[in-house]
Amino acid sequence: MTEKVYNVLFLCAENSARSIMAEAILNKLGHGRFHAFSAGSQPSGHINPLAIDLLKSVGYSVDNLRSKSWDEFQTDDAPEMDFVFTVCSDAAEEVCPVWKGQPVSAHWHFADLASGQGSLVQQKEVVHHVLQEIRQRVQLLLNLPLAKLDKAALHHHVQTLQSA
């Protein structure tokens, strides 16, 4: 019997950094058990250059990453999600679409990278710190015994990862 592949959607308002990094990280660390996607409610149309440079430098694939609208995941032929995570406060506060399949959802807050405040070195440090936080949270998700948890337990465990 083949193991279930879980579809995961990471949402951020602009889909330019945090959600993009989460997509790349989960696709690599998930080793085929997860298929990660990202989108935004108001996509910027570009990826934060510091985020993309860091992802490349630490070995994550960036080939298929692009800033896109969550509308792409509302079509009839869109993949059905098992999990939907908002990764910025703006997206968490918006009225999100109703996702087919009733995925488990949670908010995982990470610092905003779009402010561009501080020196270039300071900005790179913030991006690196956020990448490490996302990686840690993704690793905790990967460690959950997903196949053994019912939907209520799964929802509880995923919610607790916010404070991890």
User: 146 or 3: which carries more pLDDT confidence?
Assistant: 146
Please check whether residue 84 lies inside any domain of the structure.
yes
What's the maximum distance between 2 C-alpha atoms anywhere in the chain? 52
Range of the domain at 41: 6-151
Please check whether residue 158 lies inside any domain of the structure.
no
Please check whether residue 95 lies inside any domain of the structure.
yes
Please check whether residue 116 lies inside any domain of the structure.
yes
Dihedral sign for Cα atoms in the order 73, 97, 34, 15 = positive
Please check whether residue 41 lies inside any domain of the structure.
yes
Please check whether residue 1 lies inside any domain of the structure.
no
Cβ–Cβ < 8 Å for 107, 93:
no
Please check whether residue 43 lies inside any domain of the structure.
yes
Taking only the tens place, the pLDDT of each residue in 36-91 is 999 999 999 999 999 999 999 999 999 999 999 999 999 999 999 999 999 987 65
Q: Quickly state the pLDDT bin for 164 (edges 50, 70, 90).
A: low
Q: What is the CATH number of the domain that holds 29?
A: 3.40.50.2300
Q: Quickly state the pLDDT bin for 92 (edges 50, 70, 90).
A: low
Q: What is the 3-state secondary structure (H, E, C) of 110-157?
A: CCCCCCCCCCHHHHHHHHHHHHHHHHHHHHHHHHCCHHHCCHHHHHHH
**In total, how many domains does the chain have?**
1
Question: 0.75 cut: is pTM over it?
Answer: yes
Please check whether residue 52 lies inside any domain of the structure.
yes
**Pairwise CA distance, residues 54 & 41, whole Å:** 24
